[in-house]
Structures are given as C-alpha cells and as structure tokens.
Amino acid sequence: MNGKGELAVSRRGVIVGGTSAVALASLPATAQERVPGKPPAAMPVKFDVNGKPVELTLDTRTTLLDALREHLKLTGTKKGCDHGQCGACTVIVNGQRINSCLSLAVQHQGDSIKTIEGLGTPDKLHPMQAAFIKHDGYQCGYCTPGQICSAVAVLDEIKAGVPSHVQDNITARPRVSADELRERMSGNICRCGAYSNIAEAILETAGAKA
C-alpha cells in the first residue's frame, strides 16, 4: 500500500511476523512460563513409584515421562519420539504397560508405577533383563528399558488371557509363540534391528523354545 495514511505492509514483513508467532507458540512449556502473564496451573499428585510413595506438585501439563525423568531423576525410561510411536518410554502402571509420554502425570493419582529401575538391579537382575543380556537383545541400548518393560507386561497379558489380533480363535486362551510376541511387541521399535534376539529373550523368559 502506498497511499497516505495507509499502513505499509511488505511481503517480508508478513513472513517475519508470522514466523515469530509460530516460534513463540512452539516454545516448550519451560520457555513459555518466562513470558509475563498468568502462571501455569499446578496441582499435587501422589503415586507409588517402584514400591515407594512419591508426592509432587506439578504443572498440570507435565507428562508422566517428564515427571519420572526430570522430577524423580529416573532416567532409565527414555524419551524417544515423544509422540507414542516408538515405545522407548514404556512403563508399567497398575500392571499394564503404557507410553508414559502420552499420559499426564496428574492422571495417575494413587497409581502404582514401575520403571526399569524397579524391575531389577545390577546385583539382582529381573529374569527378562538377564535374558536380554544373554541373547544380546540390544545394540545401542536406548530402546532397551522400554522393550524390557513391555516384554514383562506382554507375558502377564498372555498369562491373563488378554487376546491379540493374531489368534485364530479369539475365544481361546493365547499362547506364547513367535507370532504372538511379534504382534504384541510391535509398538516397541528397535532402530538397531535386534528384533530376533529380543524375541529369543522373551521366549526363554516365558519358558518356551526359541
């Protein structure tokens, strides 16, 4: 616009202004909190983590993954895709595996949460951890905590009779098999490609033949 009294807006100005708005909207919560304005909502949450009671006051937007890693320093649970697609953040809540990056911490009031640190220790490994070592079920190791937590929960699912999509007879109790494990573990991605070794480790832990 070139008329007198009219606001001159260039194409460059529009692009710069739009880019700035997008950049501000995409800032992480910690950065956004520094912008003057109303402070973020926070609330207390109590849950049990690896057999110990925990009480935290958290921003209501805090994921369970960030509560475990950043507030409780349980860094065994990994942040991979942060979109629930890789399974690296898998933990066991009330006996069921979940992607902790997709779950808000405040949703777990009173829940029992188990992370890789709660399954075993270097001096006393969980059988699944020992089997992963024996069968070299990892390479870089980044996805391994989520793989192990998921594998432990998978065997509990099969034992409890939870059906899967690969069963010929949905009314029959599921059995441990390579096909069954591949289906149930499909949400846990190993970018190193150690899938066959992971399957062997789970089969051995279940008492089945590889």
Q: What is the distance between the alpha carbons of residues 100 and 111, in angstroms, rounded to a whole number?
A: 13
Round to the nearest angstrom and report the end-to-end CA distance of the chain: 74
Mean pLDDT on 70-74: 97
Shared domain check, 93 and 52: yes
C-alpha 92 chain-centroid distance: 10
Which position has the higher pLDDT, 26 or 160? Answer: 160
Q: Is residue 52 scored above 70 in pLDDT?
A: yes
- With pLDDT > 90 as the criterion, what percentage of the chain qualifies? 72
pLDDT in tens, 33-50: 555 677 789 999 999 999
> Residue 92: which H helix or E strand, with range?
strand 90-93
Q: Would you say 47 and 91 are in contact if contact means Cβ atoms under 8 Å apart?
A: no
| Chain segment 118-140, per-residue pLDDT in tens | 999 999 999 999 999 999 999 99
Q: Which residue has the higher pLDDT, 64 or 32?
A: 64
Residue 60 resides in a domain? yes
Whether residues 144 and 197 fall in one domain: yes
Q: What is the pLDDT of residue 73?
A: 97
Instruction: Let me know if residue 132 belongs to a domain.
Output: yes
State the residue range of the domain holding 169.
127-206
For residue 199, what is the domain's CATH number? 1.10.150.120
Min mean pLDDT across 24-28, 94-98, 151-155 is at: 24-28
Is residue 27 assigned to a domain?
Answer: no
Q: Count of CB atoms within 10 A of residue 93's CB? A: 18
Non-local CB neighbours of 13 within 8 Å, separated by 6+ positions: none
Residue 134 forms part of a structural domain: yes
77 falls within a domain: yes
Q: If pLDDT is split at 50, 70 and 90, which confidence band does 29 have?
A: low
Closest Cα to residue 85, out of 175, 191, 167, 207? Answer: 191
Structurally, the chain folds into a number of domains equal to 2
Task: Indicate the pLDDT class of residue 185, thresholds 50, 70 and 90.
Answer: very high
Q: Quick one: 133 and 202 in the same domain?
A: yes
* 2 pLDDT more than 60: no
134 and 65 both lie in a single domain? no
The pLDDT value recorded for residue 15 is: 63
In this predicted model, what pLDDT tens digit does every residue of 10-22 receive, in sequence order?
666 656 555 655 5
CATH code for the domain in which residue 48 is found: 3.10.20.30
